[in-house]
Amino acid sequence: MTAADDQADVEKVIAGDISAFEGLVRRWQGPLVNLAYRFCRDRGRAEEMAQEAFLRTYRSLSGWRRESTFSTWLFALATNLYCSELRRIPARTSALDDIVEPRDPRAMDETYEAEDRDRLVHRAVFALPAKYREAVILFYFHDLDVAEAAASLGLPQGTVKARLSRGRDMLRRKLSPHFAAPELGREAS
C-alpha cells in the first residue's frame, strides 16, 4: 500500500477509468470500515457509512489538492462524514453516569476478566461527549498519533491534545472505581 499507488489510481479515475477506483476501495476498505465501527459499534452500519464515505470520495476526487497524502485526505473526509452521520442518528450509547459503580472495587477487580475490563473501557469511551469521544477514538485509531488524529478531525493539534486530555480525565474518573485501589495508589506514588 503506497501513496504512489493511490495517486496513480486517483489519476486514472479522474481520467475516466472508474474501474481504477476498485484499487482504492480494496486498499482502504479495512481502515474505513474499522474507523466507522469504532464510531458506531455496529458492523452493518459501519459498512454502510464506509460505503457512503467511498462514494463521497469518488465524487470529490477532483477536489483532492495533493497538499496532504491521499490517506490523510480520505480519513478527514470519512471522519467528517461519520461524525455528522452520528450526530444525525446517534449510535446507541449509555450515559457515562449509567455505568454502574461497584460497591467494593477490589471485589470487582478480582472478578473482572480482561475481556470485561476492555468492554467496560470501550463502553465508557462510547459514553463520552461527542467531541471528546471523537478525539479519543481517532487518537487510538491512528496508533497514538496526535498529528494524524488532528488532520482527520480538521482541528489544530493543540485542540485535539486538550480534548484528549479532558476525555482521558473523564475516563479515569469514571473507571477508577471499577479497578483495584492498589493500582491507583501506585499511580499516585
> Could you list the residues that contact another protein (CB under 8 A)?
18-19, 21-22, 25-26, 29-30, 33-34, 37-38, 43, 46-47, 50-51, 54-55, 58-59, 117-118, 121-122, 125, 136, 140, 143-144, 168, 171-172, 175-176, 178-179, 183-184, 186-187
- 67 vs 97, which CB is nearer to another protein? 97
Q: Are 174 and 96 in contact (CB under 8 A)?
A: yes
**Spatial contact of 117 and 180, defined as CB atoms under 8 Å apart:** no
* Residue 47 C-beta: closest distance to another protein, Å: 6
When the beta carbons of 36 and 155 are compared against another protein, the nearer one is 36
Quote the least distance from Cβ 132 to another protein, whole Å.
13
Closest-CA residue to 129 (of 175, 85, 83): 83
Burial state string for 70-96 with b = 16 or more CB within 10 A and e = fewer than 16:
bbbbbbbbbbebbbebbeeeeeebeeb
Min. distance of Cβ 3 from another protein in angstroms? 21
Closer residue to another protein, CB minimum distance, 72 or 105: 105
**Half-sphere exposure (Cβ direction) of 124: Cα atoms closer than 13 Å:** 21
What are the cell numbers at 176? 477508577
- Residue written as cell 482527520? 152
Measured at the CA of 127, the angle between CA 51 and CA 160, to 5 degrees, comes to 75
Q: Which is nearer to another protein, 76 or 145 (CB)?
A: 145
What type of residue is 91? Answer: A
Q: How far is the CB of 118 from another protein (least distance, A)?
A: 5
Q: How far is the CB of 131 from another protein (least distance, A)?
A: 17
Nearer CB in complex with another protein: 67/162: 162
Q: How far is the CB of 179 from another protein (least distance, A)?
A: 5
**60/159 with CB nearer another protein:** 60
CA distances from 137 to 11, 34, 67, 87, 146 (A): 31, 11, 25, 15, 11
